[in-house]
Amino acid sequence: MEAGMWEQLKGRVRQQWGKLTDQDLEQLHGHGEELAGKIQQRYGLAKEEAERQAKEFRSRNNWN
* Whole-structure pTM value: 0.89
Instruction: Please give the pLDDT value at position 13.
Output: 97
Q: Can you give the pLDDT at residue 33? A: 93
What is the pLDDT, as a whole number, of residue 8?
Answer: 94
User: Tell me, what's the pLDDT at 36?
Assistant: 98
Query: Closest Cα partner for 58 from 38, 42, 44?
Result: 38
Longest dimension (CA), the chain: 32
Domains and CATH numbers, the chain: 3-60 (1.10.1470.10)
- Residues 6 or more apart whose CB falls under 8 angstroms from that of 47 comprise 36, 40
pLDDT at 2 over 90: no
Q: CA 61, CA 1: separation in Å to the nearest integer? A: 13
